[in-house]
Amino acid sequence: MSDNPCDVNTVRCAVCGKLREHANHWFLVWLTFGFHCYPFDIAPRQPDDLPVCGQACAQKEFERWMTARRKAGMELVASSLQENLTADLRGCRRIRSAG
């Protein structure tokens, strides 16, 4: 933050785009190493933080995060299953070749 009183720092909600006003219930969402949500005024700001304008937008951001985690997990499981299936098929081919 600047010490210059003429600097204006505007903050928009990462979910709905609402502009932050003086007294409303904002949160900062951190997605590094999990989902973390803190009151806006007590949390130190980082460039990759997501400001959200209230509980509803914080919940929407949490749902987005959970969906992305679930999708990534499902892709990992599918990849692992594909690798196991490929390995099993190779094993079956070796058995047929030997027999």
- Domain for residue 51, yes or no? yes
- Domain for residue 17, yes or no? no
Q: What pLDDT was estimated at residue 88?
A: 63
Q: What pLDDT was estimated at residue 11?
A: 86
* Domains identified in the chain, total number: 1
* Model pLDDT for residues 8-54, shown as the tens digit of each residue: 678 889 999 998 887 678 999 988 788 988 888 876 777 788 999 99
- Domain for residue 56, yes or no? yes
- Domain for residue 14, yes or no? no
- Domain for residue 31, yes or no? yes
**Range of the structural domain that residue 60 is part of:** 27-98
The mean pLDDT value for 69-98 works out to 69
Joined tokens for residue 84 = 């196991």
- Domain for residue 4, yes or no? no
Q: What pLDDT was estimated at residue 4?
A: 67
Query: Does position 96 have pLDDT exceeding 60, yes or no?
Result: no
The mean pLDDT value for 64-70 works out to 87
For 35, the 3-state DSSP assignment is: coil
Query: Does position 60 have pLDDT exceeding 90, yes or no?
Result: yes
User: DSSP letter string over 43-65?
Assistant: SPP-TT-EEESSHHHHHHHHHHH
Residues in CB range of 40: below 8 A, 6 or more apart: 20, 26, 27, 28, 51
- Domain for residue 61, yes or no? yes
Average pLDDT along the chain: 79
Q: What pLDDT was estimated at residue 85?
A: 67
Integer Cα distance of 93 and 60 in angstroms: 49
- Domain for residue 93, yes or no? yes
Q: Please report, for residues 35, 57, 58, 66, the alpha-carbon distance to residue 63 in angstroms, rounded to integers and kept in the order given.
A: 10, 10, 9, 5
